[in-house]
Structure formats: structure tokens, C-alpha cells
Amino acid sequence: MNFRAKKVTADIVQWIRNWFDTNGRGCNAIVGISGGKDSSVVAALCVEALGKERVIGVLMPNGEQTDIDMSLLLCRHLGIEYVTINIQDGYDALLSSISREIGEPSKDTIINLAPRIRMATLYAVCQSRNGRVANTCNLSEDWVGYSTRYGDSVGDFSPLSMLCVREVKEIGRVLGLPEVLIEKVPIDGLCGQTDEDKLGFTYEVLDRYIREGEIDDPDTKARIDRLYALNRFKVRFMDVFPYEP
């Protein structure tokens, strides 16, 4: 499949401009910066569309973040304003309160609490700095539900949700991002594993299956199909009772 990276990049930039003209004329783009390819590409696209003066990066470590230098590299490369808001105190206090009231929280509760606090933090910055929050998910992650509901899965506008990982990387290169950011090993920063270790397959395999419908291992195909079916609810509007008076 021939992916026209330069054209798609230009189309996304224009789409962001049009979106802000309609939904936030003069507003700033608020981007949570993790130092990975997705937030890097989204921030760079917003700079192209709106100018660096209208893009604010938000770094949100939970205590000490070993790869925060990648987030700082991106912000300095783009020349954007950024703030660092450490969520550890809020995370620890909330988790302590939850544990007091309901007992030992599940592993998934502990893992997913941080991204939900981060999204609340992004919206706090957004409402205080005349902003709109950028979603940074890509199609590959959304396909298998690799996001936190009401955490990194949400936002006000989403430039990359229809693009798979390999396409996001190509756009990053068109935008002139440092290769170390484009090819940074994707980790969720939550459970100590890489994305691919946790998923059980590579993004290369997943992207080929999404775009070409081809996959070599039937067990991997079954796992991807199962994850796709289980996680469809994450990317559609909330189900509502269809009452008709």
C-alpha cells in the first residue's frame, strides 16, 4: 500500500486549522507530552497548523520519569511552551483513599488511575489557558484497545486516530522530528513493559493485518481479533437507551 506521507501531513495540518476555526478560534492546542512518537507527531502537527505560540506541552510524570529527557527534547526542538506537573501527590492520595474505602484495588485500577489523572490535569490546563486538548492515540492502539478509557483515549480533536503506527512514523519524518523520538521503543509508563511485550505481537504485524489483511500466525490473528471485539466500546459514543416518547 502506497502511503502518501507528505500529502497526508499537509491534509492533517489543514484539518487542524479548520477544526480550530470552527471549534476554538484563537485557542491553544494542549498536548500531553510523553516523549513517544504519537505525542511528538501531534505536537509537531499542531505547531505546523497553529504556530508554536499556540501549542502548550504538558509533561506529567508520576514521581520520577526515567525517559522525561525525551519529552524535554521534543519541546525544545519545537520551541513550544511547556509545563511540568508531577501527579504523584494526587495519585498517591487518591489511591490511598480508594484503598481505605474499598480495600485492595485491582492491578488494572492501579495501572489506569495515572492516565485518568493525567487527562484531568490536561483539562485543568486547557480551561485555564484557553485551550483544546489533543488526543494522541493512533489507529493501531485503538484497534486492540491499548488505551485507558477516559484517560489517553479521549480529547477534543484527534489527528492520528485513523493512522497506524508505521504511517505515524512516516509523518514524523516528514515533519523533521528527531529520529530518536520517532523510533523510541513504545512503553506505556504504567506497568514496566513495552507496548509490544504487553500486547504479545509487534506493531509491524498489527499494521500489516489492519492495512493489508495479511497475517502469518493464526494464533496472533485470533488474539488481535479478540482484542478488537472486546474493545470496540472504547472508540464509540457511550451506549444509550433508545427511548422514543
Residue 15, in any domain of the structure:
yes
Percent of the chain with pLDDT over 90: 88
Residue 146, in any domain of the structure:
yes
Residue 210, in any domain of the structure:
yes
Task: Report the domain count for the chain.
Answer: 1
pLDDT grade, residue 235 (50/70/90)? confident
Euclidean distance between CA atoms 154 and 31, whole angstroms: 12
Residue 119 pLDDT exceeds 70? yes
Residue 242, in any domain of the structure:
no
Which CATH number covers residue 118?
3.40.50.620
Residue 244, in any domain of the structure:
no
Contact 170, 3 (CB under 8 A): yes
Count of Cβ atoms closer than 10 Å to residue 109 Cβ: 13
Residue 196 pLDDT exceeds 90? no
Query: What's the pTM value of the predicted model, to 2 decimals?
Result: 0.94
Residue 181, in any domain of the structure:
yes
DSSP-derived 3-state class of residue 72: helix
Q: What is the model's pLDDT at position 214? A: 96
Residue 84 CB burial class (10 angstroms; 0-12, 13-18, ≥19): middle
**Whole domain around residue 81: which residue ranges?**
5-235
Residue 169, in any domain of the structure:
yes
The strand order across the sheet containing 28-32 reads: 81-84, 55-59, 28-32, 131-133
Question: What average pLDDT does the segment 179-205 reach?
Answer: 82
Euclidean distance between CA atoms 198 and 194, whole angstroms: 6
Q: How many CA atoms lie within 13 A of 14 on its CB side?
A: 6
Question: What average pLDDT does the segment 156-168 reach?
Answer: 97
Residue 186, in any domain of the structure:
yes
Q: Counting every residue, how long is the chain?
A: 245
